[in-house]
C-alpha cells in the first residue's frame, strides 16, 4: 500500500516546466553591463547591484571599515543629513538596502514606477556622494559595537568565528567582517572614504533590473546612477587554502544545547564536477527532510531539530560545511552519526534511485524560483557574478540531468573526507573533548 502514491506520481513527472523569463543584456553608453527583464504587470522596479571585492578589501589594521562604510551610505549624502535622507526616501516609498559580505557588496533597491527618477537620483547620491559625517560615523559605530557584543555571546556566531579563524588564519576570511572592538573603535572618517573609494568601482560592478521598465531606459538610467564612480579599485585578495585538519574543537559555553559547525575543503564553482558535488550535497544534507542527515539524525533518532550542509564556493576558497544543534547530552551522538553518514556516502556513493529523485527535485524546483521581480533580479545578479550566461537559465537542468551515477560515486569519494571533518562545538557537550 504505502509506496503506491510515490510510484504513481513519479510517473507523471516527465515534463517539468522551464523557467520562462526573457533576459535581455544591455551595455550602457558608459560601458555598464546589465541584465534586464521587462515585467510591466506591477508598477515597480527591482534593482540589484553587486560589487566584487567586498569586505575582503579592508586594508591592514582596518578590519570592519568596509562594513561600517556600507552602513553609512544611508546616513547622509549630498547636502542631506541622515534624517533628511531618510525623510526623502520614505516620502518616495522607495527601499534601499546596503550590505557588506566577505566577497561582495550588495545594494538592493525597490521603487515605484512613478517615482523612478527621484528614487534613482536619491540612490545615486547615497552611492556616489556619501558624506561620512563624524556624528553619523560615531552613531553607526556604536550600533556595530553593539552587534559585536551580541555576537560574542551567541553560540552560532562563536562557532563560526572559531571555525573561520582556524580554517583561514590571516586571510580576511579568517575574521568577521564587522571587525573587532579595537579595530572598529579606531576607524576614522578617512578610513570610510578609503573603503568607499576602494570598493565601489565600475570594473567590479554587476547589475540586474526587473520590473516596470524598458530595456531602452536601462542604459541611460545606469550611467546616471553609477557612471560617476571610479573605474578601478584596490587589488583583490589572493586565494587561500582551507587550513583546518580533521578533529574536534570544544568551546566551553554555558547553555543547554550545543551548536556544532563542521566542514572541510570544498569544490570550485567552475569545476567540471560541480554539479555532481551539488547533487551529493543535496542528498547528504541540503535536501531538507529528504536528506540522509535529516533522516538519520532527526527523523530516526530525534537528536536535532535541524541539520544541514552546504557547498560554499567563495571567490578565494572553497569549503563544504554543515551545522547541527543538539542537547549537551546528545551532541556527541549527533556528531558520530554525521561522521558515519559522511563516510557512507564517500565509500558507497548513492543509489540510482536516490540520484533519480534528487534530479527530479532539483530540476523541478529550479523554475519555481523565478516567481517575483525581486527574486528574479537577485538570481540574475548572482549568475553574472559567477560568469554564467543568460542561457544558463534554460540549460541548467540539462547540466543536472547529465550527471551520471559513476560521476556521483567518483566525486563523492574525492569530495567527502570523513577524517578531515573538523567539528567546532560550542556548549557543554558531554563525551566530547578537543583533539590536538
Residues 121-150 that bind other proteins (CB under 8 A): 139, 142-143, 145-146, 149-150
Q: Which of 249, 281, 373, 384 binds other proteins (CB under 8 A)?
A: 373
Pairing of strands 104-112, 33-38: unpaired
Nearer Cβ to other proteins (369/433)? 369
Residues from 83 through 122 that contact other proteins (CB under 8 A): 83, 85-87, 90-93, 95, 110, 112, 114-115
For the stretch 122-150, what's the b/e string if a residue is b when 16 or more beta carbons lie within 10 angstroms of its beta carbon?
Answer: bbbbbbbebbbbeebbeebbeebbebbee
Q: Residue 401: phi, psi to the nearest 5?
A: -65, -25
Residues from 245 through 284 that contact other proteins (CB under 8 A): 254-257, 259
Residues from 351 through 370 that contact other proteins (CB under 8 A): 357, 360-368, 370
| Only segment of 82-90, 124-132, 218-226, 264-272 that touches other proteins (CB under 8 A) | 82-90
How many of the other CB atoms lie within 10 Å of CB of 351? 12
6 in contact with other proteins (CB under 8 A) = yes
- Candidates 344, 361, 347; CA nearest to 290 is 361
Nearer Cβ to other proteins (41/436)? 41
Residue 201 beta carbon to other proteins: minimum distance, rounded to whole angstroms: 28
- Give every CB contact of residue 192 below 8 A, 6+ residues apart in sequence: 65, 68, 69, 72, 130, 132, 137
What are the DSSP calls for 178-229, one per residue? Answer: T--HHHHHT--HHHHHHHHHHHS-GGGEEEEEEES--HHHHHHHHHHHHTTS
Size of the site for other proteins (CB under 8 A): 81
102 three-state secondary structure: coil
Quickly tell me which residue has 578565494 as its cell. 316
303 in contact with other proteins (CB under 8 A) = yes
217 in contact with other proteins (CB under 8 A) = no
Residue 42 and residue 212: Cα distance in Å, rounded?
A: 7
371 in contact with other proteins (CB under 8 A) = yes
Nearer Cβ to other proteins (94/244)? 94
Residue 351 beta carbon to other proteins: minimum distance, rounded to whole angstroms: 15
Nearer Cβ to other proteins (56/326)? 326
| Only segment of 10-18, 200-208, 228-236, 411-419 that touches other proteins (CB under 8 A) | 10-18
Amino acid at each position: 500500500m504505502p509506496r503506491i502514491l510515490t510510484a504513481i506520481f513519479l510517473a507523471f513527472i516527465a515534463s517539468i516546466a522551464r523557467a520562462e523569463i526573457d533576459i535581455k543584456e544591455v551595455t550602457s553608453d558608459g560601458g555598464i553591463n546589465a541584465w534586464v527583464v521587462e515585467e510591466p504587470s506591477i508598477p515597480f522596479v527591482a534593482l540589484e547591484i553587486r560589487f566584487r571585492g567586498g569586505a575582503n578589501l579592508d586594508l591592514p589594521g582596518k578590519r570592519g571599515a568596509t562594513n561600517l562604510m556600507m552602513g553609512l551610505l544611508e546616513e547622509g549624502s549630498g547636502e542631506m543629513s541622515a534624517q533628511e535622507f531618510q525623510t526623502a526616501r520614505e516620502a518616495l516609498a522607495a527601499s534601499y538596502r546596503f550590505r557588506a559580505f566577505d566577497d561582495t557588496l550588495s545594494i538592493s533597491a525597490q521603487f515605484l514606477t512613478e517615482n523612478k527618477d527621484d528614487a534613482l537620483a536619491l540612490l545615486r547620491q547615497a552611492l556616489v556622494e556619501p558624506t561620512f559625517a563624524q556624528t553619523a560615523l560615531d552613531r553607526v559605530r556604536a550600533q556595530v559595537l553593539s552587534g559585536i557584543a551580541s555576537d560574542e555571546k551567541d553560540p552560532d556566531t562563536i562557532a563560526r568565528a572559531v571555525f573561520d579563524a582556524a580554517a583561514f588564519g590571516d586571510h580576511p576570511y579568517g575574521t568577521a567582517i564587522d571587525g573587532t572592538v579595537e579595530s572598529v573603535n579606531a576607524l576614522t572618517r578617512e578610513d570610510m572614504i578609503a573603503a568607499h573609494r576602494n570598493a565601489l568601482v565600475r570594473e567590479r560592478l554587476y547589475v540586474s533590473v526587473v520590473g516596470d521598465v524598458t530595456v531602452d531606459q536601462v542604459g541611460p538610467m545606469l550611467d546616471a546612477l553609477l557612471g560617476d564612480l571610479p573605474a578601478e579599485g584596490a587589488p583583490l585578495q589572493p586565494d587561500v587554502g582551507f587550513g583546518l585538519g580533521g578533529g574536534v574543537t570544544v568551546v566551553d559555553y554555558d547553555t543547554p544545547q550545543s551548536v556544532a559547525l563542521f566542514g572541510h575543503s570544498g569544490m570550485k564553482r567552475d569545476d567540471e564536477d560541480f554539479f555532481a558535488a551539488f547533487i551529493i550535497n543535496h542528498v547528504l544534507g541540503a535536501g531538507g527532510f529528504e536528506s540522509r542527515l535529516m533522516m538519520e539524525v532527526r527523523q530516526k533518532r530525534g537528536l536535532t531539530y535541524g541539520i544541514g550542509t552546504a557547498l560554499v564556493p567563495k571567490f578565494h576558497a572553497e569549503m563544504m560545511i554543515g551545522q547541527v544543534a543538539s542537547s549537551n547530552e546528545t551532541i556527541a551522538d549527533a556528531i558520530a552519526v554525521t561522521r558515519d553518514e559522511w563516510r557512507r556516502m564517500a565509500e558507497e556513493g548513492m543509489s540510482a534511485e536516490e540520484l533519480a529523485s534528487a534530479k527530479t527535485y532539483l530540476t523541478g524546483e529550479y523554475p519555481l524560483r523565478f516567481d517575483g521581480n525581486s527574486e528574479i533580479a537577485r538570481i540574475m545578479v548572482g549568475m553574472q557574478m559567477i560568469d554564467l550566461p543568460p542561457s544558463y537559465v534554460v540549460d541548467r537542468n540539462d547540466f543536472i540531468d547529465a550527471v551520471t551515477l559513476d560521476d556521483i560515486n567518483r566525486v563523492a569519494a574525492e569530495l567527502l573526507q570523513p577524517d578531515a571533518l573538523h567539528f567546532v562545538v560550542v556548549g557543554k557537550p558531554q563525551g566530547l573533548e578537543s583533539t590536538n
